[in-house]
Chain A
Amino acid sequence: MTMRHCIAAVAAGWLAGSAAMADDLSVTATWLHVDLPPAPTLSNLDPVPEDLGRAGAELAIKDNQTTGSFLGHSYELQTISAPPEEALEAAKAALQGATFLVTDARAPLLQAIADMPEAEGALIFNVADPAMALRGEGCRANLFHTGISRAMWADALAQFLVQRRWSKAALIAGPRENDRALATAIERSLTKFGLKPPARKDWQVDTDLRRSASAEVPLFTQGLGDYDLLILADEANDYARYIAYNTVLPRPVGGAEGLRPVGWDRVVEQWGAAQLQSRFGDLAGRDMQNEDYAAWAALRAVGEAVTRVNSDDPAALRAFMLSDAFELAGFKGRPLSFRRWNGQLRQPVPLVHGGAVVAQAPLEGFLHQRNELDTLGLDKPESACAAYEE
């Protein structure tokens, strides 16, 4: 598997107009996939693509390569897939040859990678773990986050509720640890935006919902009282897909199903996004998903910094990426940038359903003294991250 998908570092012979540019630069990045079996779900309708994340990284390298060809900069991606017990060693080996590591590793492995001596001075990008702790007390100075956090996810949903004046939310929390963490994030966001705590039930049904949803779900949702939106905390979309239209009250669902906050989704097409979608589709033969977008954004951020700084020195690139001068055109209608207090990529969060974008947070009217995007996720005073300077 190792090095399976190397992209040629030098493009075809059309390096035009680079004569006047400075010294040639060669940038190598690594995509590290940690091969964990996906959480078991009742339905197999949405299998996790084998190249999830990696395809986004490959597209970013291609994008960077095109730009770099005019500047004498070249980009290369090495891709590694390793089981969890071997991932640390794999990361160590990769970091010896490449200072930029994009990975779908999750905490605590992710922090262990960032803490290795080999990772000092490297730039590591988290594309898959939405944990708030990674943006808070568990942050690392060499660890950036280009996927959205649970806090951003939940804040987007809460802003929607406030804007629509849907003042009452109900919540079903899945049984897994990550679902509980998401439920906590939802409760936090509702409080943050002045909404009442939701009526909450923890999911306990263990029958095969493919057959029994119409019998089980009305009963289960009876105890929630009246509400405007039923939020489903179910990151693997295990039970959530069986809830809509089976609730005892005729109310919409949101969260894992229905109205979904996303980092990216195939229905995002405004702001030139259709072009990114089509480039990705040509490359990967499937729709672009959250982790693909996060990996794309990570390596595009590196490429943008290399282009502007004209250097491959990670310290110089890190400083530039955290400066006011950095802006990434991320096809979401606003320039994206990194939070100086925890390395999170600021970005709008589309709220989508199966066929279209419903709204895009930050929603109109949610203001912030620094940047409206900071109404989503851990703002500076809320983040307990000490590893970043600001």
Chain B
Amino acid sequence: MSKRSPIMRHGAPVALAMLLATPAVADEIWITNEADDTISVIDLTSLEVSRTIPVGERPRGITFATDYSVAYVCASDSDTVQVIDPATGKVLHELPSGEDPEQFVLAPDNRHLYIANEDDAVTTVVDVQSRGVVAQINVGIEPEGMAVSPDGKVVITTSETTNMAHWINTETQEIFANTLVDSRPRHAEFAKGGAELWVSSEIGGTVTVFDTESQAELGKIRFDLPGIHPDKVQPVGFEFDGDEGLAFVALGPANHVAVVNAETYEVEDYILVGRRVWHMAFNRDHSLLVTTNGVSGDVTVVDVAARKAVKSIKVGRFPWGAAYRPVD
């Protein structure tokens, strides 16, 4: 594609300089740039972009295999999931994904990828080894948020316009429950060893916590930022710190990440980051959190202990997903 400069495309000069300057390999965070069809690789030692990898059209969801042997990327407008060699950045092959894959989750078996097909109201299950579609499950309109329980028995798809979390039994690949949440659910994560499911609602402005066993609602987290109109507080991506004592919730156009006590569901703090914060990933020891900021085209590096932004790093246009990669 002509819009990318050849230098950015291969990132060779930058990567070379990095190698010369820092011989020790560094952990990385991979960022998908939705409007640039690239991945920006953030070097976690230098906190610079070390590589820019060209991928398919409109990359959004990104995750690594449980053994980090490959990266999976939803190339939404190419209607495919690309499998990438993390060391070289080469696309190894593509997986069937259904139409418009937006977000996905890899089961703990390292084999089954559950993909939300945003335009199709379907969740597609792909076997990454046989590279075949195992099942397609009809879900609500505009599926997006995907989560898998730690034991791999339950997968969640949230649908943005249907406003539900759909609970999928991974043995039968069928929905066994549907729970309503507030408007425009965006992201889901299991917490506390799988005992709880958290779902963010962008337009509703809330995070709903469910008891996994009964699918009953345990609580609802609301956000109140001084000086910011409640309509602009739009929770999207979120992650738990290592011991799950805290949740970090991206608040979209409120340009803040909320720090939520995962026990009491109380908001403890708000951290100012870039514009329209989307998703995030931690580094190895969870001392740093990197957020993607869709509108400002950068990522913010947050010092988790200090609860403060320490650096902004320019990446591509519309940075969306973030995934951590250890390099040993």
Q: Interface residues, chain A, CB within 8 Å of chain B? A: 14, 16-18, 20, 63, 66-67, 70-71, 272, 275, 278-279, 304, 307-308, 327-329, 333-335, 371-373
Contact = CB atoms under 8 A, between A and B. Distances in A.
16 contacts: A16-B174, A17-B167, A17-B175, A17-B178, A66-B141, A67-B140, A67-B161, A70-B162, A70-B166, A70-B178, A71-B178, A279-B141, A307-B163, A327-B182, A328-B183, A372-B231
Contacts of A275: 118-119, 142, 160
B150 interface: no
Contacts of B162: 63, 66-67, 70
B309 interface: no
A18 B162 CA distance: 14
A298 to B, nearest CB: 15
A305 to B, nearest CB: 12
B142 A333 contact: no
Given A17-B178, A66-B121, A372-B229, 17 more contacts: A16-B138, A63-B141, A67-B141, A67-B161, A67-B163, A272-B184, A275-B118, A278-B119, A279-B141, A304-B163, A327-B183, A329-B160, A329-B183, A329-B184, A334-B232, A335-B183, A335-B205
A329 B178 contact: no
Contacts of A334: 203, 231-232
A304 B178 CA distance: 16
A365 to B, nearest CB: 12
Contacts of B310: none
Main secondary structure of the interface of B (DSSP, over half): loop
Interface in B148-186: 160-164, 166-167, 174-178, 180, 182-184
A279 B253 CA distance: 25
Nearest to B229: A372
Contact of B161 (A63, A70, A333, A371): A63
Interface string B276-317: 000000000000000000000000000000000000000000
B215 to A, nearest CB: 9
A333 B183 CA distance: 12
Nearest to B102: A275
Interface string B175-209: 11110101110000000000000000011110000
Among all A-B residue pairs, the 8 with the closest Cβ atoms: A67-B162, A16-B175, A329-B203, A329-B183, A70-B178, A334-B231, A329-B184, A17-B178
A48 B253 CA distance: 36
Interface in B203-248: 203-205, 229, 231-232
Interface string B31-51: 000000000000000000000
Nearest to B252: A333
Contacts of A373: 231
Nearest to B167: A17
B213 to A, nearest CB: 15
Contacts of B253: 333
A212 B122 CA distance: 55
